[in-house]
């Protein structure tokens, strides 16, 4: 973060200063006292299990020079605010605005939202744009999903005066979330990937989800750009909300998309290849421009799953808008790798078992995409095993959604289904109703039972998918299965 005095932090957050006004924050902004280092600013957030205020003294003893808190803390340099989380957002907004004002509009912010694909698109964008800049702080791409009212401000607060690009993932589980995040970090380029049923239990309807994702369209800076998925009808309809003076770019597989994929093929490892076609209105003329004004280039993704074609197109559209040539975009997409954990991470174990760990999150759309990828990778010669947990925050439609997943498992001819936990039981029930019987579908109550079952039953040649919402905890099983053979060999 840029250097700030305690007085500046208080002014930015509307807080009351209980510290020397000249005390200076020179390090990172943190919410975990274990990350404290000299010059840090510790934000004392109240949590469900612990209260950050109880750890403020530890953070200061480790070097933090200032605490942002909801109450005065005896003997500690503190800025007292009504709501530390809200103040965190205000501080991030202030820092970004200050840097932009002094940097002639830099850094450029790319905001990415959508019911699926945000993290992968963000990671791809980082790999497309990193070669365009130099320096440790020149581009900020958070690892994982720092996409909420806490994660987004923490990401923004990493900005320095050397930052050129900030790739910001923006998630939502309620109307107004995206509007709030775009007020903190107004995007130069705002991307909407898809409208699905993730968090529909909070939103109440898909229409409410679409309304929330559309907040990205109105959140971009004046004269900015909006990038929309032309293949998603609800997203495409947001074009009507793009303000005059804001550029609109679309991506997809339909012919009218500005940036599109044609001749898509998927190999036996589940990786997609396609021809990237860029309309003349999007890419400047070069020697490679075709007679129709288009530019074309071949892309072979290393990411596992054909659904990543859409994410790649979104990232490509943004990079093109920011001036990266078509040929470089195609080459960098081909070289790009998975950067965030538990997202279609493939491990080839020494014993011949292939593990696909996609257990960071799950909703009906991403679950279906992962299962189809499993079927492709297993093909006709390997045994496919789907280990599935609960998809959370689906509201009243949860039972039907889980039942549909179970039925899809049968239709895709997945050989073995293991359903973990009561919240996912209706996946097991749906599979049985669709025609599975005997040991083709197995329900186990918890992670230890699933671990024991799989350790005993997996055989060389099996392809195993592990997928659930993060709160279901199957990411622990993904880690275990990915390391199982190595651990077994080390214990011999």
Residue range 251-260, pLDDT digits in tens: 999 999 999 9
Q: Is 278 annotated as a binding residue?
A: no
CA distance 468 to 473: 8
4-82 against 106-335: fold identical: no
- CA dist list (Å): 14 to 9, 75, 87, 150, 152: 8, 21, 8, 18, 20
Spatial CB neighbours of 71, under 8 Å, sequence gap ≥ 6: 53, 80
CA distance 36 to 56: 10
Residue 290 has a pLDDT of 62
Q: Is 119 annotated as a binding residue?
A: yes
Q: Are 441 and 407 in contact (CB under 8 A)?
A: no
CATH code, 106-335: 3.40.1190.10
CA distance 297 to 330: 6
Whether the predicted pLDDT of 487 surpasses 80 = no
Q: Is 24 annotated as a binding residue?
A: no
Q: Are 445 and 389 in contact (CB under 8 A)?
A: no
Q: Are 311 and 121 in contact (CB under 8 A)?
A: yes
Q: For the chain, what is the radius of gyration of the CA atoms?
A: 24
CA distance 201 to 83: 26
For domain 345-490, which CATH number applies: 3.40.50.150, 3.40.920.10, 3.40.50.2000, 3.90.190.20? Answer: 3.90.190.20
Residue 42 has a pLDDT of 98
Q: pTM for the complete prediction?
A: 0.92
- CA dist list (Å): 379 to 14, 238, 409, 435: 60, 39, 14, 21
Q: Are 365 and 116 in contact (CB under 8 A)?
A: yes
CA distance 73 to 69: 8
Spatial CB neighbours of 61, under 8 Å, sequence gap ≥ 6: none
Mean pLDDT of 240-261: 97
Q: Is 79 annotated as a binding residue?
A: no
Query: Where do the structural domains in the chain lie, given as residue ranges?
Result: 4-82, 106-335, 345-490
CA distance 140 to 83: 27
204 against 423, higher pLDDT = 423
Instruction: Give the DSSP H or E segment for 386.
Output: strand 384-388
Q: Is 63 annotated as a binding residue?
A: no
Q: Are 25 and 6 in contact (CB under 8 A)?
A: yes
CA distance 60 to 76: 7
Whether the predicted pLDDT of 484 surpasses 90 = no
CATH code, 4-82: 3.40.1390.10
Residue 490 has a pLDDT of 43
Per-residue pLDDT of 295-352, as tens digits, reads: 999 999 999 999 999 999 999 999 999 999 999 999 999 999 998 889 999 999 999 9
Flag the least confident range among 143-152, 249-258, 322-331, 456-465.
Answer: 143-152
| Sign of the torsion formed by the C-alpha atoms of 169, 173, 179 and 180 | negative
Mean pLDDT of 402-416: 97
Instruction: Give the DSSP H or E segment for 192.
Output: strand 189-192
Q: How many helices (H) and strands (E) does the chain have?
A: 17, 22
β-sheet bridge partners, residue 304: 271
| Banded pLDDT at 196 (limits 50, 70, 90) | confident
Residue 317 has a pLDDT of 98
CA distance 184 to 190: 14
Spatial CB neighbours of 15, under 8 Å, sequence gap ≥ 6: 9, 68, 79, 80, 81, 87
Q: What is the mean pLDDT of the chain?
A: 94
CA distance 43 to 53: 8
263 backbone φψ class: left, alpha, beta (φ>0; ψ -120 to 50)? left
Residue 284 has a pLDDT of 61
Helices (H), 191-295: 200-203, 206-213, 215-219, 233-236
Q: Is 281 annotated as a binding residue?
A: no
Whether the predicted pLDDT of 18 surpasses 50 = yes
Q: Is 176 annotated as a binding residue?
A: no
Q: 3-class DSSP state for residue 89? A: helix
């Amino acid at each position: 973060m840029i250097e700030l005095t305690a007085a500046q932090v208080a002014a930015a957050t509307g807080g009351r200063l209980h510290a020397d006004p000249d005390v200076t924050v020179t390090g990172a902004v943190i919410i975990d006292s274990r990350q404290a280092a000299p010059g840090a600013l510790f934000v004392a957030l109240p949590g469900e299990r612990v209260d950050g205020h109880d750890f403020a003294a530890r953070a200061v003893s480790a070097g933090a020079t200032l605490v942002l808190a909801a109450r005065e803390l005896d003997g500690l340099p503190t800025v007292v605010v009504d709501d530390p989380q809200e103040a965190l957002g205000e501080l991030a907004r202030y820092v970004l605005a200050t840097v932009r004002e002094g940097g002639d509009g830099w850094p450029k912010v790319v905001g990415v939202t959508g019911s699926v694909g945000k993290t992968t698109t963000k990671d791809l964008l980082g790999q497309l744009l990193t070669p365009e800049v130099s320096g440790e702080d020149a581009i900020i791409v958070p690892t994982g999903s720092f996409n909420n009212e806490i994660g987004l401000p923490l990401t923004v607060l990493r900005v320095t005066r050397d930052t050129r690009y900030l790739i910001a993932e923006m998630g939502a589980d309620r109307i107004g979330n995206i509007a709030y995040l775009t007020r903190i970090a107004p995007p130069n380029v705002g991307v909407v990937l898809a409208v699905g049923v993730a968090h529909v239990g909070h939103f109440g309807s898909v229409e409410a989800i679409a309304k929330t994702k559309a907040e990205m369209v109105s959140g971009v800076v004046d004269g900015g750009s909006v990038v929309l998925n032309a293949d998603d009808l609800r997203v495409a309809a947001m074009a009507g909300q793009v303000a005059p003076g804001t550029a609109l770019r679309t991506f997809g597989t339909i012919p009218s998309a500005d940036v599109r994929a044609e001749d898509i093929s998927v190999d036996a490892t589940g990786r997609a290849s396609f021809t990237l076609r860029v309309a003349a209105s999007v890419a400047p003329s070069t020697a490679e421009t075709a007679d129709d004004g288009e530019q074309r280039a071949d892309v072979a993704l290393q990411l596992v799953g054909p659904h990543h074609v859409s994410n790649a197109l979104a990232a490509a559209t943004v990079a093109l808008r920011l001036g990266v040539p078509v040929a470089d975009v195609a080459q960098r997409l081909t070289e790009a790798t998975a950067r965030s954990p538990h997202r279609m991470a493939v491990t080839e174990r020494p014993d011949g078992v292939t593990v696909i760990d996609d257990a960071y999150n799950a909703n009906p759309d991403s679950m279906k995409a992962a299962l189809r990828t499993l079927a492709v990778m297993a093909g006709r010669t390997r045994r496919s095993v789907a280990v599935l947990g609960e998809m959370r925050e689906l509201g009243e439609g949860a039972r039907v959604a889980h039942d549909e997943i179970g039925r899809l498992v049968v239709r895709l001819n997945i050989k073995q289904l293991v359903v973990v936990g009561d919240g996912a039981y209706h996946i097991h029930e749906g599979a049985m109703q669709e025609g599975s019987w005997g040991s083709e579908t197995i329900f186990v109550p918890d992670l230890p039972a699933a671990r024991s079952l799989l350790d005993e039953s997996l055989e060389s040649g099996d392809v195993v998918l592990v997928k659930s919402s993060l709160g279901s905890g199957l990411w622990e099983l993904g880690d275990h299965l990915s390391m199982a053979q190595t651990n077994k060999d080390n214990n011999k």
